[in-house]
Amino acid sequence: MRRKSDLPSKLCAHCARPFTWRKKWARDWEQVRFCSERCRREARSVRTDDRPR
C-alpha cells in the first residue's frame, strides 16, 4: 500500500493550495487543475465576471 506522501501532488489553479492524486482522477490526472468543485466553480465565475461588456 502506498503512503499519501508518496502520491503525486499539484497546486490548485484557483486557491494555490497543494492537493494530492485521487483514484477518481487516475485517467485524466494531467488535465486536473483544481482541488475541488468549489475552486473550479469560483475560478469559472471569476473568469466570466472579467469579460468586457
* pLDDT tens digits for range 37-47: 999 999 988 77
Provide the pLDDT for residue 21: 93
Of 34, 38, 41, which is closest to residue 16 (Cα–Cα)?
A: 34
More confident residue, 1 or 21: 21
CA distances from 53 to 17, 44, 50 (A): 32, 17, 9
Buried b (16+ CB within 10 A) or exposed e, 29-48: eeebebbeeebbeebeeeee
Q: Cα–Cα distance between 37 and 14 in angstroms, integer?
A: 11
State the cell numbers at 16: 494555490
Q: How is the chain split into domains, by residue range?
A: 9-49
The per-residue pLDDT for range 8-48, each reduced to its tens digit, is: 999 999 999 999 999 999 999 999 999 999 999 999 887 77
